[in-house]
Chains A and B, each alone.
Chain A
């Protein structure tokens, strides 16, 4: 806190610094209008680049990269943790994950004295349970909190192994060099849970055989119960526990028929990938990016540009595509205020993590100080930030 303040003061007084109203700089990253970025940083196993573009009035995407000790004590194991949390219905769940998941992970790593799929699963479960108790506490005052949720994509690099855990539709893509041809190919590492995917719809039907309306095509988009595109998430308690699917929650979130088993799942898909020397980099991003760029397009952009600023270039490429789809200029799209901007593109977060092959299996932190960076956004004056933001219903209903 104090060091953050000092950095801010230093930035303001540095000769020639651009300390004007909406452009700021600190050790963590820079804010330029609705764009936040950290062009380059060092994690235990190489470099990284990070960028966030805000569209919603309150940024719903949260993100973090933590590198150094992955346990509560400094004895390790050491590695890098990456998290992308794409919230929906409000920012509360994604913020909660950003504040709690990594601490849970460190605690379970210490207990088990190593990194494992089980540690990651337990950390996610503890985070889900923690948020459920927040909802239970706030329910009477702000029932809307029951309809807030978040996707959650996690990557952990530890001892030459990459773990990917996912709930929802964010995505991790590996750039892998093919020796024979010199190309860098895109390999998707995460399983996605979006009802637009046929296998996900089949899975939902087999889990809910008595409910023919478990997935509904609405506005040309498949939605679980006609409400939500993802089938797995943290939060969205109103679709997991029937006791929160009632008044005083707004009618549009309530299901007509009571449900016995959770409609959305909080069981992550976790995969393990032994890292190889030809693995160049991993792109972690919320669906705001993947809506506009294919895996290979994104990998090509990263491969063909300098490491510094690669995340920002990916965000720019996605926004240029979004502007094209809306039949307007990219330069004009950038002028649109947060809030109304959500009609033009989604909040988008990108973290590019480079894998330096001689650092990937590095197991000590002899010369590495450890880092912790969180993706930023516009922070509002205190009095406009309600403890739980309740979306205003359209007047006259």
Chain B
């Protein structure tokens, strides 16, 4: 098992790298915002929303990663399976961008496991206290209300 201190170090490192690459990993979609909500994802992609209403268009292959599967299970526990609309993940945009950056960098298995563990821990802390999970992760790199697409 990886120590918490080492985990935080790694997380900082990855977050820094992710921040540096954010401009390259997520692109605002080039069409009218009016259509963004209801439009169909491009070929080979699926759609998830974050709790702060950001739309992510993600390659299907991400569904085979443990982190994404865990996020989906977490979403089911938190919100149930949506019967009439898209999937919402119980995290905000910054967190999902970070997760995606980790997957893109093919992080070692132990880091992935540590991330899942920390997700689960956070999840339980979050669901045991009913306080709002709003956070101000807006670092100005992305324009808000624009859907994002990941390649």
Contact = CB atoms under 8 A, between A and B. Distances in A.
Contact of A329 (B40, B64, B80, B117): B40
A397 B76 contact: no
A326 B47 contact: yes
B103 interface: no
A219 interface: yes
Contacts of A22: none
Interface stretch (B25-33, B67-75, B94-102, B130-138): B67-75
Interface stretch (A69-77, A79-87, A305-313, A331-339): A331-339
A340 B40 contact: no
Contact of A326 (B46, B64, B120): B46
Contacts of A336: 46, 60, 63
A328 B41 contact: yes
Interface residues of A, number: 26
Interface residues of B, number: 35
Interface in A327-381: 327-329, 331-332, 335-337, 339-340, 342-344, 346
Contact of B47 (A220, A327, A346): A327
A335 B63 CA distance: 11
Contacts of A346: 81
Nearest to B41: A328
B43 interface: yes
B60 A332 contact: yes
DSSP majority for the A interface?
A: loop
A395 interface: yes
Question: Which of A325, A346, A394 is the most central at the interface, judged by chain B CB atoms within 10 Å of its CB?
Answer: A394
B124 A324 contact: no
Contact of B87 (A329, A343, A397): A343
Contacts of B143: none
Nearest to A339: B69
A221 B117 contact: no
A247 interface: no
Given A329-B43, A332-B44, A396-B117, A340 B69 contact: yes
B129 interface: no
B41 A332 contact: yes
Interface in B15-50: 38-41, 43-47
Nearest to B123: A394
A283 to B, nearest CB: 20
Question: Which of A219, A221, A331 is the most central at the interface, judged by chain B CB atoms within 10 Å of its CB?
Answer: A219
A327 B86 contact: yes
A86 to B, nearest CB: 14
Contacts of B117: 395-396
Interface of A: 218-221, 291, 324-329, 331-332, 335-337, 339-340, 342-344, 346, 394-397
